[in-house]
Structure 1
Amino acid sequence: MKHILILGGSYAGISTAHRLLKSAPKSSMKITLVSPNTHFYWSMASCRAAIPGGFADEQVFQPIAPGFEQYPAGQFGFVIGEAESLDVEGKKVVVSGTAGKQVVGYDFLVLATGSSAKGGLPFKGLGSTDVTKDKLHEFQERVKKAGTIVVAGGGVTGCEVAGELAYEYSRDKKIILIASGPSILPVAPPSVSNLAAKYLLDLKVDLKLRTKITSSLTLANNKVELTLSSGNTIKADMYIPTFGLVPNSSYIPSTYLNSDGYVFVDEYLRMKGTKDIWAIGDVSCLERPQFLTCDRQSAHVAKNLVIMLNNKAPLEYKIATRPIGIQIGRKTATGFFGTWRLPSWLMVWARKNLFTEKLKPTVDGSLF
């Protein structure tokens, strides 16, 4: 019997575990899932969940363990802890948790530890479920009290956060979105960037393009003073920098990581230079962090592991273009597929609940 160790209670980790348990011969493997989180966090809805009244906790958090109780005893184990170090040659991981440190060996290892939002913002998990919930609630309280809120960053997260804030509070609060480029959403076709900007302006967002924040100073009254590249300053009650993600890869030897901390992978999604380790989702350097991409990588690795359990050669992974959607408030959205702008009505229909209806089916495995 092969021991498959999966690090990370992310979508990538949970979906891979369920896929394996549903498709591999029961006598051929045992799976251990390691996560510092007791609950799975539906971070795709975090930009709305962070706004007071957006989503209740139970709509974005679900306990992980009950979803795996359906499988035979001895076939699945759940360890609440965090990977501290990886010994590639010795095929073991040091895990630190509430019960102290333990060494967990493996035959096959799946790295699905995801990423964190820079600055400790609750747009991704923050180390443990309790910490993430506390930060989310703290963020909500700050939003309630703020009169002027500055969102920095013209990427997807920045635009979605500004849109959610403006949809809820355009009459009561001043929402400012600062982007360094000549347009927002630089990865999107111009037609999508322009439409998203229109939606934000319609929600009365003060959009400042070609502008950078050169410094920030916390004042005595808990306000923040931001100095802009123009030399002007803005005083705000809340400052939300949305400058990308940090991969949760500190436990991985640096030789397997690129300069930004993402895992190098080969054509099979294996960590480069190894035979029995795979990296999927946000921690991998192969593709942009995205739900559809993560799901596709999970399905591929699960299929390959089943193939290898049957002593056959794994299949190569093929990169494919996936659609990207951007929600601007609750009633407008846009998106693109390659260079094509997708119909707004389709994006609004598809993303109206930010896929929260998939949370429970993901955790209990019925989605797979």
Structure 2
Amino acid sequence: MTKTVVILGGAYAGLQVAHRLLKSTLPLVKDLRVILVSKNSNFYWNLASVRAIIPGILKEEEYTQPIAPGFAKYPPEAFEFIVGTAKAVDHRNKTVEVIVGEEANERLLNYDYLVVATGARNAGTSNVPWKNNGTHEEITALLAETQQKVKAAKHIVVAGAGTTGVEVAAELGFEYGNPKDPATKKEIILLSAQREVLGGDSIAGNVTSELKKLNVKVRGPARVANTTTSPDGKTEIVLEDGEKIVTDLYLPTMGLTPNTDFMDGTLLTGGRFIDVDEHYVVRGTDNIWAAGDVVWKPRGSFVYTDKQAAGVAKNIDAVLRGKSQSPVKTIPFDVLMVATGRSRGAGRMGPVKAFSLMVYLIKGKTLGTDKLSPWVNGSLF
């Protein structure tokens, strides 16, 4: 009897789980069928979005590639790719209602096992490209539009001083903070809600020092209360203390909302993230797993997502073969790496700070884009 695994989400976790099951489990479980549902027909390497907004730096194929060709090597009866969006999951009857294609046709999928890896979206706005929030066409159009705005702006404000905000400001500072041609110079301001960037992490001082070298002005505490866009395209930013800043381009990076609107609320935490146990099985079920930003455990991170996806695939393989699951192991200590432009970085491994060159080589040099092709075609797993 066919065992169907439905995977919701075609980003870092979902793609990895699909490839691992088809490469490693299918040869041992001949009746396995994997259905991957993704809103985006392409895999979007959003880690590079902070650099992709700078005109002329990255080619489109360096941060996005089509998903389907990477699965063409598997038996067609064992895999199906659906470009669509999950509308509702009925975990009691083991069904997923999916909205498919531009025609928005509804399709009901029956599953034996379900993986939720739908990630998170930017909170409060859809006009920034930091997350995989739309279709391939929508994301590439948004990046092109953002590049044009960056090119035209003389004054840019980045709001939110977490990893994304810092890296956005650093990329802008690297390109425009002290350019060879004075005509291309731009004023870059990074607003931090707290006194220090990165929530006062132990590398905050190092990061601030790197940003200053790039002529990025860091302000904190400076929390945004509201913004208004005028007919000429400028944005007025009002801070909580009443101060007003008028800028050519406003790039918010703060806040994420998990993509869990289709899930039963009893399976979610108070923050609407999916509640999972040590095996990353969704609590209250025995046949649903979740991984990535959608669980935010212990926080959102590429490194955590990578390990979680591998662990989930291993546990589904175990269940399919009548074996016991294992606790999902991520990393023994917290790692934080922040690229500060295209030549330096700051980071730590646990409490031990990493040299700038090390962070550059690990992350800042490519922002992981060298892994895009092997991730899409599955050769990395």
Q: What's the TM-score bracket when you normalise by the shorter of the two chains? A: over 0.9
Matches within 5 A, 1:196-235: 196-235=207-246
2:195 aligned partner, one-letter code? P
CA deviation after TM superposition for structure 1 residue 259, in Å: 2.3
| Distance verdict in 2 for CA 1:285–1:256, change over 3 Å | farther
Is the CA contact (8 Å cut-off) linking 2:307 and 2:329 kept in structure 1? Answer: no
Give how far 1:330 is off: 0.7
* 1:251 corresponds to which of 262, 266, 289: 262
Q: Kindly indicate whether residue 181 of structure 2 is the aligned counterpart of residue 178 of structure 1.
A: no
* 1:284-339 deviation line (CA, Å, top 9, x unaligned): 13221111111111111111111111111211224532422101111110111222
1:93 is matched with 96
Counterpart CA distance in 2 for 1:19 and 1:254 is: 29
Please state if 1:327 is matched with 2:377.
Answer: no
The one-letter amino acid of 2:116's match is L
TM (normalized to structure 1)?
0.96
SS in 2 for 1:74: helix
Q: Find the counterpart in structure 1 of residue 181 from structure 2.
A: none
Q: Displacement of 1:215 after TM fit?
A: 2.7
Alpha-carbon distance in 2 for matches of 1:131, 1:168: 26
Q: 2:312 aligns with which of 280, 301, 304?
A: 301
Instruction: Look up the equivalent residue of 1:109 and give its one-letter code.
Output: L
1:36 corresponding residue in structure 2:
39
User: Equivalents in 2 of 1:45, 1:160: separation in Å?
Assistant: 10
Contact 1:92/1:104 (CA < 8 Å) preserved in 2?
Answer: yes
- Counterpart in 2 of 1:71? 74
Gaps of 5+ in 1: none
Does the 8 Å CA contact 1:264/1:286 hold for their aligned counterparts?
Answer: no
Q: Secondary structure at the match of 1:210?
A: coil
2:150 to 143, 146, 154: 143
Q: 1:123 aligns with which of 112, 125, 130?
A: 130
2:117 is aligned with 1:112? yes
- Pairing 1:21–2:28 present: no
1:133 counterpart (140, 157, 176):
140
Deviation at 1:361, TM superposition (A): 0.2
Letter in 1 for 2:158: V
Q: Which residue identity lines up with residue 248 of structure 1 in the other structure?
A: N
- Contact between 1:28 and 1:309, CA under 8 Å: does it hold in 2? no
> 2:285 matched to 1:278?
no
1:169 aligns with 2:169: no
Amino acid at match of 1:338: G
How far apart in 2 are the matches of 1:242 and 1:8? Answer: 22
Q: 1:39 to 1:72 in 2, by over 3 A?
A: same
Instruction: Report how far residue 136 of structure 1 moved.
Output: 1.1
Equivalent AA in structure 2 for residue 78 of structure 1: F
Structure 2 alignment gaps of length 5 or more: 179-184
Residue from 272, 291, 294 that aligns with 2:302? 291
Paired residue type of 2:292: G
Work out the CA distance in 1 between the residues paired with 2:97 and 2:43: 22
Shift of 1:140: 0.9
- 2:255 & 2:231 partners in 1: Cα distance? 29
TM-score (structure 2 length as normaliser): 0.93
Amino acid at match of 1:161: V
Q: Give the AA of the match of 1:341.
A: K
Higher mean alpha-carbon deviation, 46-55 vs 6-15, is at: 46-55
1:182 CA drift (Å): 1.6
Calculate percent identity across the aligned residue pairs.
39
Aligned to 1:2: 3
Distance in 2, Cα, partners of 1:146 & 1:11? 33
Q: Please give the per-residue CA displacement for 1:75-106, whole angstroms capped at 9, x wherever unaligned.
A: 11101110000001110000001251100000
Question: Which residue number corresponds to residue 356 of structure 2?
Answer: 344
Contact 2:29 2:321 in 1 (8 A): no
Residue identity matched to 1:59: E
* Post-superposition CA distance 1:213-252 (Å, at most 9, x none): 2232222321112223443321100111111321111111
* Cα distance in structure 2, aligned partners of 1:88 and 1:124: 27
Q: Which whole-Å CA distance do the structure 2 matches of 1:298 and 1:70 have between them?
A: 21
RMSD of the alignment, in Å?
Answer: 1.3
SS in 2 for 1:127: coil
Aligned length: 366
